[in-house]
A and B are shown apart, each in its own frame.
Chain A
């Protein structure tokens, strides 16, 4: 229901913004809104991780898969500040959009497995996963609008398919471990998105020394 409402509103906004009227809203404002969304997204993932770590089996840390095994690791992203600042705006936006797009399916898997997660804070986690999905969706829509204003390079989205399937594990340990692993990957990617958008925001608002 809320998703439908969100879809409706987003569709309306998309239609509205696709027209010339959208040019009335400056990019800086759009980026501001997007960066706020991404900030919220990352905060949510961070709290989720903390909630999960409260009752995580110690052995899980040992056998945790490496972060390099995230399905989005193939995407080449800047690894330090200089590199990041050298990337063009449209590339940055494209990276952000690619990352976000890559997580559409895994979030569904996460939300599905959250219902049966053998964790004491399962309900909280499940609700937050749902929130995560909403924010991710709205951010994706907003970025799509932004990409329309920033050139064709921003339109390209690298495909990062998720190959993990719908099943995150059979036993409790593996479930938890896989859930944790997925969530960690998402946390990092959300941070990347947030950082990219904030860099873009400051680049667009050169006349506002207050925020940048």
Chain B
């Protein structure tokens, strides 16, 4: 026994010294620590611990657990399945909705160490495995590619029975990028990724999480390369651009070719001045004289309007036999050129005078006057008229002859010379030229005779009285068919002084009703009374004629004295009238066969014209009331 102790002591001393020599201390193990416990499918779980220092001595670790409802301590059934420092609880050992109190004990030769206990409930520590079978494919949607990612849940997780409900999440990134694009996929196991870069290489990963647990790790990366796809939209635009450019060039070329005609179409040239004889070049030269001299038409305008004949617009051109030609020639020199009349209806450009009422009279008085003429055309009567007219020169009766020419003369255009007489107060105050008045009388007689010599004139259709404003005296109407006999008579009377009112010689005017077929001017004496204008209004036979009334003279009070004529011999003396008065009073009894004779009021007559007027006042301008 002594020998054994003596043998052990050196060993112990050796061991002690060895220990001291190395500097190492042996001790009990340190407390281990449970790092984590996880359950991948809520059926099993694994716990891992971290051992402390082992104290230099081989230490063993043991995991002990206790379930909540019992005091029984169990040791870990499996230390190896889950690796080092782990404890794997299989299905049989795993209960859910049960608190596990787990402790790890480290044991070595010198001591033990207990870890802190951990209470876990399996349902709270679920962390599934990452999803499996990740598949990524490139698919096309109307020409645009997209990625279709599909996967499977971890095979251990029982999602079919509803034991575990997993939600998934995936992430995508380009190979050269650093940032991931996250997509939450919910419970579905498939996902589409759009907006891809043509020709890019993508990385796709997916992970899952139970409804009340932890996220799994990311699955293994899946690589996919998106093929190069041609940008269809761009190609279309390129084509369109090319075509438009082409068309544009063509149009430009066409426009250039037809620029001239287009200019004419769009911007028509402004017509320049077109004046005959106008030379623009002369303008440019600056010689206005030359320019304007070119415009001058020779013989225009007429230098001297002395010849009244030239002023005549129209001429009564009538074919007459030799007899008539002579007469016409004789009467030509009496012409004066101020009157104008419209005879031919067909003549549209007639120089109608202001007092021309040719058409009016023709329409209204034609038929009536025809009758009158018919009645008056009896030779005897006519002769009486003529004689009376002849006497009338002494009777200071003026009648105005209206030459009427039928428009339907067969001789063509009928033009009449203005009337011989000029009753308008255009004359100077000097007495009328006897010569002219004689001529006028002659003409008047001529006209009268011509009328007289036409006993049986057939009525014409439309007749009209054309009034001539005689401004000059020396015009005479064309006498279409004067009789030589009458002509001689007229010549005889040419000496009669009929110029002034005092002479009381008046040339009577004969109204020319019409021109019959035989180119005869039919005249009608105005015998039915004083010139009456009111008759016109009353619609009388002789109404609508502008009659001239004879002015007897002026009294001392500057009153115009007019003379009234009575039909068929009955005469009324002239009646004094107020110049401005409208009413007419007659101091003498005036009986008129025809009720139309009226005295018209005198218009305000200028003093100077009182005598100059050869007794004729235009009743048309007066507004007298009939008093007869």
Contacts and interface: CB of A to CB of B under 8 A. Distances in A.
A81 interface: yes
A203 interface: yes
Contact of B162 (A39, A67, A201): A201
Given A66-B68, A80-B94, A188-B121, A210 B188 contact: yes
Interface string B105-147: 0000000000000000101000000000000000000000000
A42 B121 CA distance: 15
Given A80-B91, A81-B43, A191-B123, A67 B161 contact: no
A85 B161 contact: yes
Given A68-B69, A191-B123, A79 B96 contact: yes
Interface in A185-212: 188, 191-192, 194-195, 198-203, 209-212
Interface in B129-174: 158-163, 165
B68 A67 contact: yes
Contacts of B189: 210
22 contacts: A68-B68, A79-B95, A80-B94, A81-B43, A81-B161, A82-B91, A84-B163, A85-B163, A191-B97, A191-B212, A192-B97, A194-B211, A195-B163, A198-B162, A198-B163, A198-B165, A198-B211, A199-B161, A202-B162, A209-B160, A210-B189, A211-B187
B444 interface: no
A207 B96 CA distance: 29
B14 interface: no
Contacts of A84: 163
B159 A80 contact: no
User: DSSP majority for the A interface?
Assistant: helix
Interface string A122-157: 000000000000000000000000000000000000
Interface residues of A, number: 29
A202 B161 contact: yes
B237 to A, nearest CB: 42
A199 B188 contact: no
Nearest to A197: B162
B350 interface: no
Interface string B288-315: 0000000000000000000000000000
A201 B163 CA distance: 10
Nearest to A84: B163
Given A42-B212, A43-B212, A68-B68, A81 B163 contact: yes
Nearest to A43: B212
A210 B188 CA distance: 6
B36 to A, nearest CB: 18
A158 interface: no
A77 interface: yes
A135 to B, nearest CB: 15
A76 to B, nearest CB: 11
A47 B42 CA distance: 21
A39 B43 CA distance: 20
Given A46-B212, A188-B97, A192-B97, A81 B123 contact: no
A203 B160 CA distance: 9
A206 to B, nearest CB: 10
Interface of A: 39, 42-43, 46, 66-68, 77, 79-82, 84-85, 188, 191-192, 194-195, 198-203, 209-212
Contacts of B159: 212
B117 to A, nearest CB: 10
Contacts of B98: 79
> Which of A81, A82, A192 has the largest number of chain B CB atoms within 10 A?
A81
Contacts of A81: 42-43, 91, 96, 158, 161, 163
A210 B167 CA distance: 11
Interface string B548-567: 00000000000000000000
Contacts of A82: 91
Chain B contact-residue range equals: 20 to 34
A203 B68 contact: no
Interface string B80-103: 000000000001001111110000
B329 to A, nearest CB: 131
Contacts of A188: 97, 121
Given A79-B98, A202-B162, 13 more contacts: A43-B212, A46-B212, A66-B68, A79-B96, A80-B94, A80-B95, A81-B163, A188-B97, A191-B97, A194-B211, A202-B160, A202-B161, A212-B161
A90 to B, nearest CB: 16
A46 B68 CA distance: 20
B162 A212 contact: yes
Contacts of B160: 202, 209, 212
B97 A203 contact: no
B213 to A, nearest CB: 11
A75 B189 CA distance: 37
Contacts of A43: 212
Contacts of B97: 77, 79, 188, 191-192
A77 B91 CA distance: 17
Contacts of A195: 123, 163
CB-CB nearest 10 A-B residue pairs: A202-B162, A79-B95, A199-B162, A198-B162, A68-B69, A67-B99, A68-B68, A81-B43, A212-B162, A81-B163
> Which of B91, B158, B161 has the largest number of chain A CB atoms within 10 A?
B161
B187 to A, nearest CB: 6
> Which of A80, A188, A192 has the largest number of chain B CB atoms within 10 A?
A80
A24 B305 CA distance: 122
Contacts of B158: 81
B68 A210 contact: no
A67 B91 CA distance: 22
A161 B53 CA distance: 50
A203 B162 contact: yes
Nearest to B98: A79
A39 B165 CA distance: 11
Contact of B43 (A66, A80, A199, A212): A80
Contacts of B42: 81
A3 to B, nearest CB: 27
A53 B231 CA distance: 58
A212 B159 CA distance: 5
B160 to A, nearest CB: 6
Contacts of B43: 80-81
B451 to A, nearest CB: 124
Contacts of A77: 97
Contacts of B95: 79-80
A80 B95 CA distance: 5
Contacts of B165: 198, 211
A201 B181 CA distance: 33
A171 B327 CA distance: 163
A8 B123 CA distance: 36
Interface in B55-82: 68-69
Contacts of B123: 191, 195
A82 B477 CA distance: 149
A34 to B, nearest CB: 13
A210 B190 CA distance: 10
A202 B165 CA distance: 10
